[in-house]
Amino acid sequence: MSRFAQACLVAGLIAAGAAHAQEPAVADDPYQWLEDVTGDKALDWVRAQNAKTDAALASTPAFKAMEAGIREVLDSDAKIPGVQKIGDWYYNFWKDRNHERGIWRRTTLEEYRKPNPAWETIIDLDALNKAEGENWVWHGADCLRPDYTRCLVALSRGGADANVTREFDLAGKSWVEGGFFRPEAKGGLQWIDRDTVYVYTDFGPGTMTESGYPRVAKRWKRGTPLESAKVVYEGKPDDMYIAAYHDDTPGFARDFVSRTLAFYNDELYLIGAGDKLAKVDAPNSANKGVKREWLTLELREPWTVGGRTYAAGSLLAAKFDDFMAGKREFDVLFEPTDSTSLASFAWTRNHLVLNVLDDVKNRLSVLTPTAQGWKRSEFTGAPTFGTLGVSAVDNDESDAVWLTATDYLTPTTLSLAQIGQQPEQLKAMPSFFDGSDDVIEQHFATSKDGTRVPYFLVRPKGLKFDGANPTLLYGYGGFEIALTPGYSGGLGRSWIDRGGVYAVANIRGGGEYGPRWHQAALKGNRHKAYEDFAAVAQDLIARGITSPQHLGVQGGSNGGLLTGNMLTQYPELLGAVVVQVPLLDMKRYNKLLAGASWMAEYGNPDTADWEFIQGFSPYHLFDPARDYPPVIFTTSTRDDRVHPGHARKMAAKMIEAGKDVTYYENIEGGHGGAANNAQAAHMSALAYSFLWERLSKK
């Protein structure tokens, strides 16, 4: 998948859209009426369940104290304001108690260095919502180089993935009357120049893919109707996502079409004169990046080219113009080992910073292109602990990078580093809980097929290994996403401070060991992710850290599918289960919202794939005659990525069977589950309260 498409789809910044029309109920699914997202009958059921849940969990002083503690963390003015350099200014989007929907603001680097910078507000979303009678949620801004006075601002109603794009004048701090405007839909706008944009969106019937994403990309001139925009590329209905974008790097301006067929399966085209397309002829499975004179390829499969075979997980570099001319000469910038994978890389003006995971621990190095080839050196002053993140301040003008460091017990720090110099720490998140009596460990469990599976453990130093400790095990295991240590004040206050043990499993399906770790749990091998997670649970029990009645699991989205499978396949291991914004009905997932876009991960249930998919479809694995641990399902009505019908139907099915089920659905929130800090605090407190109540009982 191209860097551009990956940003669009994995991060989900411009995705999904309106719910598919409800299909007629089928005889073997009496709960299908709950797929009617905003139907009166379905929402009446949701509100009744919400009332029961709030009455059972949210009415106690202990709950209110926990919720207030989480809200205090989310609203804290002492959090690190991450910034993006746009022109001479440093921009930040900020939410706190006084700005529930947030403000987009800016400052100078000189001010940013100060403990309490002076900020200039550019857009106040709360004020905008009040003026327009809307419930806008921020989805980002793209500002036009070189003067950066015009921006394309994306706003979502209620936190849904679908959004609108509006043109904003930074100089006048006002919306541009008659400016570029994209109506609410999946997709986006990308600047070409001041009077031209690329637009990929819902243009009407037949212009969206079966996954519900844009199928057509056009070039649109200012002052002309959207309908008259010129088609640049039209994909096929079963493609996943079509987009076009302009690379405005000075001296290397280029235009591209990105055709995503599925996750980690894409084609990239250079747009030439007369809109003639030239394919970047690299494997569809490779992540393709173009920066200045360089083409980079992150291989997800072995590739034999130019008389040499390059290993999956490698990072290759070649001169872009030479590659397009037919040359196939590459420098290998990274090659994985049994314990290492490439987490990320960041360009600066003159260097490339590699961020490598070695047994899920970050290691940084610097590569510099020279006339004699690429020179490798250490990253000066790199922290030796925790999760490290590196991003360029301005990769076209300087060799400065932002450097973050964090772990489960150490608040995040932000440093400004010039390549080759000691980093300068600018910011540090405050300690929201006392972790001095706790310790972080890494262990390895052995899965059913003998695979060594790492996991992190946060526990009190004085822990009694008597199996009686309330323990929360978290996981994801999908889409090549790696789970690395990070600081959470809400988790710390709500769980660790109370003496709870916290574990994070680095199971297959994730990206902890690169493409091979992800591919090991695709489609018919999906069960291996769940076997890995069960192995970690069993290891926690075998070590005497906890026992089934004191062990809970939590996961969201693909992680909700994970915990749904733990609920239905391994109930004897667990005392409580949290299932958040989940996929659960794997027979119909590809017909609900963006579900069709995930068939490369799970398979197509309308084909023979159903033979293996039904083996990890919790909705179909549920057996009314079987005993299950208590479970809480949470989702959002406005989640237009994973359909709320998954959680609704599973909960209704289990409730009717008399199981211990708690359900809560936020009416706003999108796939993140909450549209503001108050909602986020409430949702988190529900999960932690549920877990503590169930798992702390003797």
Alpha helices, H only, 193-296 = none
Cα 351 to Cα 348: distance, rounded to the nearest angstrom? 5
Whether 557 is catalytic is yes
Residue pair 334/354 in contact (Cβ under 8 Å)? The answer is yes
Query: Distance between CA atoms of 512 and 531, rounded to whole angstroms?
Result: 17
Q: What are phi and psi of 88, to 5 degrees?
A: -90, 0
Beta-bridge partners for 157: 136
Contact 523, 603 (CB under 8 A): yes
671 is known as an active-site residue:
yes
Among 187, 186, 199, 297, which Cα is nearest to 244's? 199
The structure tokens listed for 80 are 């690190």
- Helix-helix angle 558-569:527-542, to 10 degrees: 60
Question: What's the burial of 118, exposed, middle or buried (CB within 10 Å: 0-12/13-18/19+)?
Answer: exposed
Give which of 395, 367, 619, 356 is closest to 513, Cα–Cα: 356
Query: Of 211, 494, 557, 617, which residue is the catalytic one?
Result: 557
Q: Which of 538, 519, 530, 589 is nearest to 555 (CA)?
A: 530
Q: Which two tokens stand for residue 99?
A: 């700005």
Instruction: Round to whole Å and give the CA distance between 537 and 525.
Output: 20
Q: How far apart are CA 168 and CA 82, in angstroms?
A: 22
How far is 201 from 269, CA to CA, in rounded Å? 19
> CA 682 to CA 478: how far, in whole Å?
27
The answer to whether 319 and 295 are in contact (CB under 8 A) is yes
The tokens of 379 are what?
């990253």
DSSP H/E element including 110? helix 109-112
Which uninterrupted H or E stretch holds 262?
A: strand 254-262
- Round to whole Å and give the CA distance between 574 and 100: 37
Whether 399 and 416 have beta carbons less than 8 Å apart is answered as: no
Single-letter residue type at 437: D
Q: b/e string for 455-468 if b means 16 or more Cβ within 10 A?
A: bbbbbeeeeeeebe
| Stretch (H or E) spanning 613 | helix 610-613
Distance between first and last Cα of the chain: 49
3-state secondary structure of 268: strand
| Residue 294 structure tokens | 């360089």
Alpha carbon distances (Å) from 434 to 74, 407, 414, 438: 17, 14, 21, 9
Return the bridge partners of 663, or none: 633
Catalytic one of 99, 550, 671, 682 = 671
Q: What's the CA gap between 510 and 476, in Å, rounded? A: 7
Annotated catalytic residues are 557, 671
